[in-house]
Structure 1
């Protein structure tokens, strides 16, 4: 294992029923792998779904939007997003995974992407392996990478009095799982860190990437089309997005980060952002009028919020004071309106704590 950079592995205890063996299995895994983790610069943490207590999936927006209405989702998002890899400790219920595990996976989307996952299963005849096979079908849809190394514990052979029986063979198997998730997580790290990957969007054919010089003319046309509705809603043509020239847009590349979204090659959405002290300013969020209503805007907002530098503590954006539809959408995404004077005449400023960002 390489110790060139730190890596975080989250061990997820999938069972939530009283009398479960899961916590004992997780404790054994952490203890068995502790020396190797220390040597390799790996932090191993445990997330017990019984303690976390997620309700049945209750978010109104699609998880791919990254727009979360509830603090329990945001807390789970922060924990999963901070991890580089996962080890799932799971029993088998009726030839499948526990419902609590499926529910925990379903709450999020981007936070799981481009990360490896290993398994420690336990049970009777199959030692929980059928639950693992079922879970693999789900995690690959989340763009996770199931690894080959596993541990499968047969209760009659490998446990005694509610604990894992001492075994050099099992300890070696646990270390093999850790070694493999470590190796794969480090290889996949560029996919997680890259700014021009394609987070799965709410509709097919979307390609999200930083804006380039040859995008700008098309972006300016899209911007003017989108802000016609704003001009009508606010009864004015004196709006900065309508006054902006191609030279202005080109100059903005030196002070703003811009992203474009194409669908089957056509530019359909865009957004910009920059840090201003402790605030991540988000601007010019736009979706082509004929593409509105499909969740692209919410998805793009969630993406740009996630790009905020660590030193920022809040996100902020502006919209027209009479843009009721926009204001309602941002408030549903967790933003709150500031007081009068926080924004230029004719507009409102909305802010959101980064602790509330998914």
Structure 2
């Protein structure tokens, strides 16, 4: 399991003094909090009244991300760090409140590929027309609306400015959160690929990003499946990628700069690099077996070598003496065999 919880923002949309919205949002947060903990979710309650956004006042289009105002930067940070949203909204004249529309319009890429659920409230329609109006807007921002919604008719659910507790509403609230969490996990690869500054990989739809401690389980699986050929070629199972524990992987992830290559949420390749003095080191070059032979390993090797070239006099790596495919790749990229030890490990070096 990831060590980082999903962050779900519960957004109170009404800014009217005396509005029932804060009470509805507080009920929602209290109700789902125990279930959120079991789902590894961090709830963040944000009120548009407290945020106090003026009507959109940035000079540049939000798609540029060139924000000048402190209130925009603060709002951008909240949305960017969130994995999903639940909007608690009233209905004003068959539509969503202007405060919600304004908050949506402030930003662009920060919203992309994140789920949004709704808890609406009102009289005759229980706020459902507000939700339908909002869904037309949020899909343009590449937010993904949930199928589940909660609609509270005030006369049936509110007593003394508070939501009347019921088993039905509790089940509905927990169900809404479950659907949002499932969709947030499913959309994570698309969120990552859409983030500014992400580098495209060698295959269509693939991208690279630095691997973190949260990726250790993926790394453990990848290296175990990728070192089977190495074990067979060199007739040994005494290889670190086979024997390392999850904690071992987490340890070296903090010591190396490791780049992962991702495709549709799957870690399909990786390579690690680091520098000691004027010598660069490359290791754990891995590509999933079903995508071998497509130039991915060479691409990752060059990516790592290029990252070291400007700061190192030479770059070193190693492989098994019988790993003919590896040796062919490395020598074709300019690496020269330097030594071979008794265990059959070949050291190769390339001058930068």
Structure 1 and Structure 2 fold alike (TM over 0.5): yes
Question: Residues of 2 paired with 1:64 and 1:173: CA distance?
Answer: 35
Change (3 A) 1:27 1:211: closer
Change (3 A) 1:105 1:126: same
What's the offset of the Cα at 1:209? 7.5
Do 1:8 and 1:43's aligned partners in 2 also have CA atoms closer than 8 Å?
yes
**2:182 is matched with which residue?**
183
The list of structure 1 runs, each at least 4 consecutive aligned residues, that deviate by more than 4 angstroms after superposition, is 2-5
Could you tell me which runs of 5 or more consecutive residues in structure 2 were left unpaired when the two chains were aligned: 203-256, 260-352
Q: Equivalent residue of 2:133, what SS?
A: helix
**1:71 is matched with which residue?**
70
1:89-115 alpha-carbon deviations (Å, 9 max, x no partner): 000000000000000000000000000
Change (3 A) 1:88 1:212: closer
**2:131 is matched with which residue?**
132
Change (3 A) 1:209 1:18: closer
**1:80 is matched with which residue?**
79
**2:213 is matched with which residue?**
none
Change (3 A) 1:198 1:9: closer
1:176-325, aligned counterparts within 5 Å? Answer: 176-194=175-193, 197=194, 210=199
Q: Does 1:150 align with 2:149?
A: yes
Change (3 A) 1:82 1:127: same
Question: Residues of 1 paired with 2:43 and 2:201: CA distance?
Answer: 40
**1:169 is matched with which residue?**
168
Change (3 A) 1:5 1:209: closer
Change (3 A) 1:74 1:176: same
Q: Equivalent residue of 1:8, what SS?
A: strand
1:119-152 alpha-carbon deviations (Å, 9 max, x no partner): 0000000000000000000000000100011110
**1:41 is matched with which residue?**
40
Change (3 A) 1:165 1:111: same
Question: Residues of 2 paired with 1:132 and 1:35: CA distance?
Answer: 26
Question: Residues of 1 paired with 2:200 and 2:161: CA distance?
Answer: 56
Q: Does 1:105 align with 2:104?
A: yes
Question: Residues of 2 paired with 1:56 and 1:127: CA distance?
Answer: 27
Q: Which has the larger radius of gyration?
A: 2
Question: Residues of 2 paired with 1:176 and 1:211: CA distance?
Answer: 36
What's the offset of the Cα at 1:26? 0.5
Do 1:3 and 1:39's aligned partners in 2 also have CA atoms closer than 8 Å?
no
What's the offset of the Cα at 1:210? 3.6
Change (3 A) 1:132 1:35: same
What's the offset of the Cα at 1:192? 1.0
Question: Residues of 2 paired with 1:39 and 1:198: CA distance?
Answer: 28
Question: Residues of 2 paired with 1:132 and 1:101: CA distance?
Answer: 11
Give the number of aligned pairs.
Answer: 205
**1:96 is matched with which residue?**
95
TM-score in terms of structure 2 length: 0.55
Q: Equivalent residue of 2:139, what SS?
A: helix
Question: Residues of 2 paired with 1:69 and 1:186: CA distance?
Answer: 32
1:171-220 alpha-carbon deviations (Å, 9 max, x no partner): 111111100100000010011112xx497xxxxxxxx974679xxxxxxx
TM-score in terms of structure 1 length: 0.55
Change (3 A) 1:177 1:62: same
Could you tell me which runs of 5 or more consecutive residues in structure 1 were left unpaired when the two chains were aligned: 200-207, 214-254, 258-358
Change (3 A) 1:212 1:74: same
Question: Residues of 2 paired with 1:177 and 1:136: CA distance?
Answer: 16
Question: Residues of 2 paired with 1:140 and 1:212: CA distance?
Answer: 27
Highest RCO, 1 vs 2 (Cα 8 Å, sep ≥ 6): 1
Question: Residues of 2 paired with 1:212 and 1:117: CA distance?
Answer: 29
